[in-house]
A = this chain, B = another copy of it.
Amino acid sequence: MTLKLFYTPGTCALASHIVLEEAGATYDTVRIDFRANQQQSPDYLKVNPKGRVPALVTDDGVLTETPAILAFVAQSFPDSQLAPFDDAFAFGRVQAFNSYLCSTVHVNHAHRMRGYRWADDPAAHEAMRKKVAQNMTACFDLIESEMFAGPWVMGEHFTICDPYMFTLTQWLEADGVDPSRFPKVSDHRQRMAARAAVARALDAERAS
């Protein structure tokens, strides 16, 4: 299988990058430069008409959206055991966690830098920025107290939830949140950063 990941450093594409490494996949990467607005270039819009990253080009076509890419990689590399496809409820929990990250946590974060998506008034953007730390704190309070099973997100088994949550924890300081408030999440973040696959993905994004 030929795989090519379109990514931008510092974005949620890191989750897909890490999962490709964890799966032992062979893949190419293409860096999309947000500062040059390359995600809106005609060439990239042919890959992903939404003008966002990540996008994963496969032999069958292009996949977008982090929860979809993560599950696709897990299912394509079953030996890596990154998602419990044979157990509908266990897989449902994985999906529910990743769906919460994409539709609530990432969206809350996006209101700091990308308020222009939801309002044209600069004063509204400033009002949105002011609430980001509070919202991200509430999300990670809930993750810490209700969702995180430990030692990994889903419990004893490392899954595609772990790289995704790790990716979003990388944004906490810039979002004005003190990560020491979440001891289990912070410990998870340290153990994730120590994994060889995570280091390879981070090194590749820093070097690009």
Contacts and interface: CB of A to CB of B under 8 A. Distances in A.
Contact of A131 (B58, B76, B89, B119): B119
A71 B92 contact: yes
A12 to B, nearest CB: 10
Contacts of A135: 117-118
A96 interface: yes
Contacts of A88: 72, 75-76
Counting every copy of the chain, the complex holds 2
B102 A131 contact: no
Majority secondary structure of chain A interface residues (helix, strand, loop or mixed): helix
A76 B146 CA distance: 25
A142 interface: yes
A106 interface: yes
Contact of A64 (B96, B121, B123): B96
A182 interface: no
Contacts of A66: 99
